[in-house]
Amino acid sequence: MKLFTSLLTLLILCGCSSSEQSGKAQEKLAAHSICVFDSTNTKVCVAKPAQRIVSLFESGLDGLYMLGQGHKVIGIPAEVYIQPLLFNAYSKIDKRIANKQLATPSQGANATNIESLVLLKPDLVIVGSGQTQTIELLRQFGIAVYVMESSTYQQVKEELSEIAILSGAQKRAQEILNFSDEIVAEVAAKTARQPNKQSIYYAWSGGRIFSTSGRQSITNDFIELAGAYNIVQTNTNQPNVNPETLIEWNPDNIVLWNTNPQLIYERKELQGLSAVQNRKVFNLSPAFIYNPHTIKIIITAIYLNHSIYPENSDLPVSALQQRILTKLYGEHLAKTFVQ
């Protein structure tokens, strides 16, 4: 019995001491190093710009490629291999992904294999805010963990520049952000010329056309950036509407995510909607170039802006999209994304 209690106390002491050590390690770094505050308001520091980066957050991964830091990526989230849309896009960006050479220490939003991740010896890990246990564990090991959310346009911009700081690409980040501000200004100028602001009803993918997004969501942000307003007025993130309510609201436009607009045109009860009669149902596809959790939200904004307010002097939308994609990924890749 005595042996048992002494062993137990020894184990407990070991447990305590290791967390102290990692705390001290971080403090040493903090003295002369590169630091940012991430979305959980934790100070994240690296001694020098990160060279081995594991990104378990797909939008963060995208950001790294846009910043030109893709060669530093050594680990990606598993959904890049599993989801055909993502795999097609990323295969074009990085050959290693096409050949399935990059490690994937995670399997979906909840299942991160800590061991394989640590074995990769990363100096920076980018994670989505949902994986609280993974974040804690990794920080205890003394690894720099940057937590991303990208749930509003403002946050998308902040987090892009913070990743840039951590990986040493501040100049490039500034370039991108200046460019996106230009685009947003152009869109705002065009919107100002319109007599009325139009409304948009957004429907989620997978045929759940009565599942929409409220006023506090990233969807709302790109609707506003596009110069329209969200017809849903509640703050609930993903409410379901009664079809009657939708008919009553009669939105000017309907925007779908990666869904065939036929699904809307076929519904008998929606025939009376002005959006259906004027054929103003727009589909955001291919989903990769419209991902609102990255700076590509401006592509979404510009696409919608040009679709709902067509003007005679407009360049075709595809040209505008190419311009932005070229800025973000380079001319060669930009063409392949929209094929």
Partner 1 sequence: MEKLKYYWFYPLPFLMIFISLLIGPTQTLSAWDYTLWGVQAVFGTPYFDAEQFRLMQNIIVNVRLPRILLTFMVGAALATAGNGLQALFRNPLVDSYVLGISSGAAFGAALALSLSWLSPNLSAFIFGVCAVGLTYLFAHQKHASQTSLVMVILSGMIVSGLFLAGLTIIQYLSDPFKLQAIVQWTMGNLHQASWQKVQYAVLPICIGLAGLFAMRWRLNLMALGAEEAQAVGVNPRWEQLLLIALVTVCTSTSVAAAGIISLYGLFMPHIVRMLVGPDHRYSIPANMVLGGSFLLLIDNFSRVLLTFEIPIGIFTMLLGAPFFLLLMKTQRTHWA
Binding interface with partner 1 (CB under 8 A): 79, 83, 107-111, 204-206, 208, 210-211, 234, 236, 238-245, 247-248, 267-269, 271-272
Q: How many CB atoms lie within 10 A of CB 254?
A: 24
Tell the smallest beta-carbon distance from residue 234 to partner 1 (Å): 7
Q: Closest Cα partner for 55 from 78, 32, 27?
A: 78
Q: Which CB atom, from 135 or from 302, has the smaller least distance to partner 1? A: 135
Q: Which CB atom, from 222 or from 309, has the smaller least distance to partner 1? A: 222
Q: Quote the CA–CA distance of 12 and 136 in Å, as a whole number.
A: 18
Q: Parallel, antiparallel, or unpaired: how do β-strands 124-128 and 53-55 relate?
A: parallel
Q: Which CB atom, from 21 or from 274, has the smaller least distance to partner 1? A: 274
Tell the smallest beta-carbon distance from residue 54 to partner 1 (Å): 19
- Tokens for 308, please give them: 């709902």
Tell the smallest beta-carbon distance from residue 215 to partner 1 (Å): 13
Q: Closest Cα partner for 145 from 79, 93, 75?
A: 75
Q: Which CB atom, from 258 or from 336, has the smaller least distance to partner 1? A: 258
Tell the smallest beta-carbon distance from residue 265 to partner 1 (Å): 14
Q: Quote the CA–CA distance of 216 and 190 in Å, as a whole number.
A: 25
Q: Is the dihedral of CA 183, 185, 187, 190 positive or negative?
A: negative
Q: Which CB atom, from 60 or from 227, has the smaller least distance to partner 1? A: 60
- Tokens for 17, please give them: 């001491």
Give 138's contacts (C-beta < 8 A, 6+ positions apart). Answer: 114, 117, 118, 125, 127, 145
Tell the smallest beta-carbon distance from residue 118 to partner 1 (Å): 22
Q: Quote the CA–CA distance of 73 and 114 in Å, as a whole number.
A: 17
Q: Which CB atom, from 204 or from 329, has the smaller least distance to partner 1? A: 204
Q: Quote the CA–CA distance of 210 and 201 in Å, as a whole number.
A: 10
Calculate the CA dihedral of residues 19, 47, 122, 94 and round it to 10 degrees: 150
Q: Which CB atom, from 239 or from 330, has the smaller least distance to partner 1? A: 239
Q: Which CB atom, from 150 or from 321, has the smaller least distance to partner 1? A: 150
For the chain, what is the largest distance between any 2 Cα atoms, rounded to a whole number of angstroms?
88
Tell the smallest beta-carbon distance from residue 269 to partner 1 (Å): 3
Q: Quote the CA–CA distance of 264 and 237 in Å, as a whole number.
A: 22
Q: Quote the CA–CA distance of 278 and 304 in Å, as a whole number.
A: 15
Tell the smallest beta-carbon distance from residue 165 to partner 1 (Å): 27
Tell the smallest beta-carbon distance from residue 240 to partner 1 (Å): 4
Q: Quote the CA–CA distance of 84 and 73 in Å, as a whole number.
A: 20
